Structure 1
């Protein structure tokens, strides 16, 4: 059987994969493209997670695609709506039929002789091994393990007679009406699950080891509602997108520059939302704002559930599980019928793909990331890793446009291969996300690429700087090496020429 070959293979049919593919398919409609997706549907994260209340944690004007406006008065969108948005985009741009479902990419090997990647995939339903080849590979598989979340073991948990659930694997028809629920965790998932479950459960307790910063955000964009009455909706969307991006960036920079002052502002905000009946010790984080991602509560739903008494919060450590619940180190027992372990993600970069060059495995943590979009010395390979301090898809938008610019430059010089090479000694021991300190990142530090001392080897997490670097600065910067491949019978081949 002939191995199918494509000019470009994109791994992942989530927000990043579909968004990047839209840019490339629009600029290069005659080039063959395939999208390899492990699940049986598009949507990625938004197809996997189905826990109560799941929603975006960024406003949809900036979280959605710039080229496909999200026309809605709602600020934060429900998970199912985002999944349908990704599917609709894929169909609109002619990508839906280019997706190969149910395939887990287990390895990719670059052949210097053939100037192409060979990808090995396992069809999950049948166990069958399949192979694909491509000229260029773009990895949009995200940053965490779809097979498992982070789930610490707890002493005595086998004694508990109720249900223990991780949000990543939520039972489809779980009935928690009238049940006593304990949610372990204080991150974005816990802040989402608690008010959603509190509507039906007998009571919900959020058990945290340490507090997080939580911001109440409006559920409706009232300014856009007013502007839509007098301006075209496309213009209103552009205004909202720019406004929200600037606000998010300004908030982050203010937290970086004036951490103590912004901590006081955040504490005032939470105290105002909670009212006088809640002990502020549960909302006094040990870290500064934006050392971890801020949690968003639409219309303050999390705070409302605490004020109403439908939910409560406990700050303590777990000693052990008992038959009826959780015994804390303080000696207090939290009785429960259901325990939700919202304890975080297990980071797995690039979908767990193992890269090799001519059969030699690539040691990923020894490589630097280039412009946050390529990897040191790795030929014809890009990856999309979004922002930790802004909507993930902002990077997907400018990343996809950069890949198009890269292809254009390769065609211009007649190159078949491109790779970033450090010839100026930029190597450092700094991880690509050092300074961002949530548990799931700290646990995975030794699995991540590094960042360099400066220039395009430095990870900025700054949308404005990245946009200039990826969209405006010259592609040929003296760091990228463009290599000419073997000539075809008709002369030198243009890179990514259309497949026959």
Structure 2
């Protein structure tokens, strides 16, 4: 009890200082200027994902005009931005709006327990190895869905015998020098696709070793249409037009992929043929077995992967690994690849709520047992929101909708004197469906760890920004919600 008396209190505790956390801090303060907030950040600086990933070629896999905040326009010319530039943008934005003054760095959140007697959360953290307690009325999980500690590492027989370097992109050593070395990148997802053109600039040989191909969509780094819009209109107007232009393009490609997959297959294959050497076996290395957007489509910049292959700086092998020995990789086909460096771009592991242990009055809450309400609240969990982006569009498009919804909820609670709010399904029958409707390996591996989606609103997790934006505009804040208050002494003195 003595520890709780000394705990630092804030009206809102935001976990994570990446895009989600910074966006939430701005929106909550914008609509609720009287509320106090604290951002708890595990890392030593701002950025979240964009601070974690430091591998060569790291960049956004969606356009920066929708990935940046609608209230702080991106001013550089790039349509697709590099990781360091995104991290710098987040840092400058947090500083500009005073958000950085509310961040507690090197603070790892371990658990959060809701006390229904005082309607407050008690959050246990670790700061430089020492325990520290925070208390707050509302929790906002800006933790994303990556497991920052454990990437996905499939077993490769014999990899411990390899005498070269084995590197996972999630933990890329900043001083690692691959100049003049033979590099094999295992994987064909977004990480491998962005790594290979960069590695091929100085490595002696770069091979992308994939079990199966991925659909690749090329985008210009600096988009001529976007630049024309920005030249023709004032800054603020141009920014909004560009955001909707880019968001509309992504939604159109996704819709066509679902409705007319043959057309999209033909367009993507034709682009590959036009940018690869004549006679290149496109159907072997760039013809997936599934339809476009059954898995997430990968973005390449100005056809850079195809250019690296055409120039002889990179190559693709489609095969399965039999085993790894001291000098390289032996494939099931019998072919071997000699290597100095093996990069295991084998994917991510997902987890709910940043792996934080959640409980209500001491009873464990398992996120996978709860339905998701309006894509950001959990069934019967009071005063807590989790920000999760789209699978088929920019993360920030939904992150900003989530932040605005939470800010609106807090204002409603304050106006009516409520101290708790939670969505309640009750005895209403609700069929389940996957929250993420793609067949990507990292999603299929984590279905047991993710919250549940229903089949109709407000319990339906969908990935359609246009419909979500309309729903947000006409949202009924009390729909399927329970509100209440504690009449006891204030949470701060409890």
TM-score (norm 1): 0.95
What is the alpha-carbon distance in structure 2 between the residues aligned to residue 169 and residue 487 of structure 1?
48
Residue equivalent to 1:206: 208
* 1:429 shift after superposition: 3.9
- The corresponding residue for 1:137 is 139
Alignment match, 2:54: 50
1:85 and 2:89 matched: yes
TM-fit CA distance, 1:263: 2.2
Which of 359, 363, 375 is the aligned partner of 1:360?
A: 363
Instruction: Classify 1:181/1:271 alpha carbon distance in 2 versus 1 (closer, same or farther; 3 Å).
Output: same
Corresponding residue of 1:264: 266
CA contact (8 A) 1:426 1:452 kept: no
Which residue number in structure 2 is paired with residue 33 of structure 1? 37
Q: Give the CA deviation at 1:363.
A: 2.0
Whole-Å Cα distance in 2 between the matches of residues 169 and 345 of structure 1? 12
Of 9, 14, 18 in structure 2, the residue corresponding to residue 10 of structure 1 is 14
Q: Does the CA contact (< 8 Å) of 2:368 and 2:449 recur in 1?
A: yes
Please give the secondary structure, in 2, of the residue aligned with 1:455: coil
The whole-number CA distance in structure 2 between the counterparts of 1:401 and 1:456 is 17
Looking at structure 2, the residues matched to 44 and 132 of structure 1 have their Cα atoms a distance apart, in angstroms, of 21
Does residue 274 of structure 1 match 2:282?
no
User: Do the aligned partners of 2:31 and 2:408 also contact (CA within 8 Å) in 1?
Assistant: no
Counterparts of 1:228 and 1:446, CA distance in 2: 45
Could you tell me which residue of structure 2 aligns to residue 483 of structure 1? 484
Match of 1:454 among 442, 453, 456: 456
Deviates more, 1:33-42 or 1:262-271: 262-271
Superposition pairs of residues 346-495 of structure 1, within 5 angstroms? 346-433=349-436, 435-477=437-479, 479-486=480-487
Partner of 1:122 in structure 2?
A: 126
Map Cα deviations across residues 200-226 of structure 1 (whole Å, 9 max, x no partner).
000100000000001111111212333
List structure 1 segments (4+ residues) > 4 angstroms apart after TM superposition. none
| Pairwise CA distance, 1:253 | 1.0
Alignment deviations for residues 234-278 of structure 1 (CA, whole Å, 9 cap, x no partner): 222221111111111111111111223322222222222324242
Q: Counterpart of 1:107?
A: 111
Asked if 1:298 is matched to 2:301, the reply is yes
Give the Cα separation in 1 of the matches to 2:232 and 2:458: 43
Partner of 2:194: 192
TM-score in terms of structure 2 length: 0.96
SS in structure 2 of the partner of residue 468 of structure 1: helix
Tell me if structure 2 keeps the 8 A contact 1:150–1:343: yes
Most deviating of 21-30 and 218-227: 218-227
Q: Structure 1 unaligned runs (5+)? A: none
Q: Is 1:98 matched with 2:102?
A: yes
Contact 2:64 2:80 in 1 (8 A): yes
Contact 2:194 2:300 in 1 (8 A): yes
Structure 2: tracts of 5 or more residues without a match = none
- Counterparts of 1:225 and 1:233 in 2: how far apart (Å)? 11
Counterpart in 1 of 2:167? 165
Aligned equivalents of 2:204, 2:47: Cα separation in 1:
33
In structure 2, C-alpha distance between the alignment counterparts of 1:100 and 1:385, rounded to whole Å: 22
Q: 1:227 to 1:459 in 2, by over 3 A?
A: closer
Structure 2 CA distance, aligned partners of 1:316 and 1:467?
43
- 1:330 aligned partner: 333
Q: Is the 8 A contact 1:215 1:270 kept in 2?
A: no
Contact 2:32-2:411 within 8 A present in 1 as well: no
TM-superposed CA distance for 1:61, in Å, is: 1.1
The number of aligned residues is 488
Shift of 1:487: 5.6
